[in-house]
Structure 1
Amino acid sequence: MGYATFLSVTLLALQEDAPTLTPAPQAQLRGTSSPLVRYAKGTKYMHINNIVQTILDENLKRKRKQLYHYTTADGLLGIKTNKSFHLSEHQFLNDMDELKYGSLIAQINLYDLLNEEYNRAIEKKEIDSKDIDFLNKILDKVKNNEKFLKLGNYYIGCFSEIGDDLGQWKGYSNFGEGFSIKFDMEKFLSKKTENYIYSQVVYDKKKQSTIIKTLVKNILNYYNQNKEHERKEVIINTGAQLIFLTSTFFKSPKFSNEREWRLLYTNPFLNNKEISYKSGRFGIHSYHPFQFDINCINEIIIGPKYDFVLNFNSLNLLFNNKVTIKRANLRIK
């Protein structure tokens, strides 16, 4: 199956009498089976991003109405002037292992499940385990997904629950010469379509493991209920993409102080109309412009290296006195 087909927006056009998915025994995880069950019962079209969104929504119950984004002066002016938010191609983000970390966590947990199945098969004296065959195939597909990261089909916008954080001033706003913008996220996401996934980032390794292992077990049960070879192949391909996309919201615990949320744009049929370009620290950067209602900006914190009074007056003029302007509590020399 070609890569474009593998990334297709549907799971599979299953017949309406297809069997329902039974959750894995003692491993029920919110969201891992319900969207697949609805699809198996006869839904003819379902965007794979919607399934990932459901998995994340139902397992990460915390919601934040207000989030912050750190940026430079040029970044703030661009947001205000163009009424768009740049989702950066993941290879241009500060973390060099962006997305690779989640893929590695998924692979480690697949290896764990493989070892468990090998031990079970030895104990039961099962010479030919179909579950081992499935796990090996889906593991290969997840590894293959990682190889395609350099194609640049993943665009990410980052937000934080914390608006005045020393590490983020240094890392994302030119060492304090920038701004922290507060967004009303409900208004910000009002134009979100099925090409986007929005969720908080998972830092806890146990939670990451639980999400991946239970998702895999539910896909495995679904796979075992289907007898047609072609359908099984599509389940493996789509299942691997589900696992990979879910893992893009995993990050190392060492970044947990950032308390990040992210908006991910992914579309297998990318064209030049959806991508723009700008200069950056790595050369020419590609990004996806996300259009939004500028009135969702309700507060701006002036960076610790900027003169507060000068910027206070300019920002009030720029935003017509419609946003709250604050000074950073932290100071940086």
Structure 2
Amino acid sequence: MQNASDGVKTSPISNYIWETQTPPSLLWHYTNADALLGIARNQVLWCTEYRYLNDRKEISAFAIHLIARIREELVAIFGRETSDSIAEFVTTLYNTWNIFICSFCLDADRNEHWYQYAGKAGYSLGFDTYQLKALADSQGFTLGPTLYGESTAINIATAVLKDNLHKLEAIERPITESNYNEVVSFLCRLTLGYAPFFKAESFEREREWRLVRATGIDGDNKMQFRSKLPFGLVGYLPFSLLAKKERQDQPNHNERNTLIPRLMIGPGNETTEFTRAAHAYRLLAQNGFDAEVGETSSSLRL
């Protein structure tokens, strides 16, 4: 993405990646056996509400920098009092929204991911990136890479706001209540369009990509719940692995779904190599997926 000083139109994160470089052919999702059964049989992924993920600074890693620039840049347009009021309202409002995230990475066989996300006798699923993006577009999700570090967040937050200032400068002054609400809504959506794709630099080794969808507090009436310690109820949004026509019709398992062309069996599985590969293959095949099954090269002891 261009530096703020370049004055070049900034594209949303996912658009920038798809327009300017070649994305990876596969994105890998690490999971345990129970979750694999659910993914295969129900043909959905669970996108977890961000407040339950492993980074305590989710969303805020980018949002605080964008809102700081909103506060300063709007002074010249609306004055200090209104600028401060808008910045405070945006902060309050975006924190009431739900943001649902499902994580992938570039690595098929990485010890850190086996340990943290799959556990003993886990799996990593290799998703076709282009098919995954098509599904995301059809369901109102965004697929894109995670960017890391404070300096990256500051540069892009500055660029994003500068690229959108002309829309705010066009608003009549003194600002009316209706226009005020429109400005707050616009800036909130701008924040939520970028913030889920930024994390602290300490997470950079994860090389993460994300499926993301932001909703109002009601989860667009699609939010579901599962139990998880120590949180109690955890909200999630289902993401269908079926194309739109298949979602509307009864899935036909005789037609092979090529969305998951690879599956990797993780360390710690104590069945024989033939048995564990055959069972994983049959589970996916019975549910319409056509996948090649491989074995981890990791010697990790779990």
**Fold match (TM-score > 0.5):** yes
> How far, CA to CA, are the matches of 1:223 and 1:110 in structure 2?
11
> How far, CA to CA, are the matches of 1:110 and 1:190 in structure 2?
33
Confirm whether residue 70 of structure 1 aligns to residue 30 of structure 2: yes
Change (3 A) 1:129 1:186: closer
Q: Is the 8 A contact 2:148 2:199 kept in 1?
A: yes
Report % sequence identity.
20
Where does the alignment leave 5 or more consecutive residues of structure 1 unmatched? 1-24, 32-53, 119-127
Secondary structure at 2:55 match in 1: coil
Secondary structure at 2:193 match in 1: helix
Secondary structure at 2:191 match in 1: helix
Q: Is the 8 A contact 1:106 1:244 kept in 2?
A: no
> How far, CA to CA, are the matches of 2:228 and 2:268 in structure 1?
21
Deviation at 1:218, TM superposition (A): 2.9
Secondary structure at 2:261 match in 1: strand
Which of 273, 281, 290 is 2:239 aligned to? 290
Give the CA RMSD over aligned residues. Answer: 2.9
Structure 1 match to 2:282: 317
Q: Is the 8 A contact 2:144 2:197 kept in 1?
A: yes
Deviation at 1:213, TM superposition (A): 0.7
Which of 181, 202, 210 is 1:254 aligned to? 202
In structure 2, what residue type is equivalent to 1:157? C
Deviation at 1:172, TM superposition (A): 0.7
Deviation at 1:132, TM superposition (A): 5.2
In structure 1, what residue type is equivalent to 2:222? E
Secondary structure at 1:295 match in 2: coil
Structure 1 match to 2:296: 328
Secondary structure at 2:225 match in 1: strand
Deviation at 1:158, TM superposition (A): 0.6
Residues 192-201 or 269-278, more deviating = 269-278
> How far, CA to CA, are the matches of 2:9 and 2:108 in structure 1?
31
Q: TM-score, normalised by structure 2?
A: 0.78
Which of 168, 175, 181 is 1:223 aligned to? 168
Aligned residue pairs, count: 271
> How far, CA to CA, are the matches of 2:78 and 2:6 in structure 1?
16
Confirm whether residue 104 of structure 1 aligns to residue 48 of structure 2: no
Confirm whether residue 185 of structure 1 aligns to residue 129 of structure 2: yes
Q: Is the 8 A contact 2:142 2:213 kept in 1?
A: yes
Q: Is the 8 A contact 1:226 1:232 kept in 2?
A: yes
Confirm whether residue 197 of structure 1 aligns to residue 197 of structure 2: no
What aligned pairs does 1:35-184 form with structure 2 within 5 A after superposition?
Answer: 54-60=11-17, 61-62=20-21, 63-110=23-70, 114=72, 129-130=76-77, 133=80, 135-148=83-96, 153-174=98-119, 176-184=120-128
Secondary structure at 1:296 match in 2: coil
Q: TM-score, normalised by structure 1?
A: 0.72
> How far, CA to CA, are the matches of 2:217 and 2:228 in structure 1?
25
Q: Is the 8 A contact 2:62 2:157 kept in 1?
A: no
Change (3 A) 1:252 1:147: same
Structure 2 match to 1:299: 262
> How far, CA to CA, are the matches of 2:139 and 2:36 in structure 1?
27
Structure 1 runs (4+) deviating above 4 angstroms are 108-111
> How far, CA to CA, are the matches of 2:290 and 2:126 in structure 1?
13
Secondary structure at 2:197 match in 1: coil
> How far, CA to CA, are the matches of 1:129 and 1:271 in structure 2?
36
Change (3 A) 1:214 1:137: farther
> How far, CA to CA, are the matches of 2:163 and 2:291 in structure 1?
47
Deviation at 1:220, TM superposition (A): 2.6
What aligned pairs does 1:257-272 form with structure 2 within 5 A after superposition?
Answer: 257-268=205-216, 270=218
Q: Is the 8 A contact 2:30 2:124 kept in 1?
A: yes
Change (3 A) 1:268 1:135: same
In structure 2, what residue type is equivalent to 1:267? T
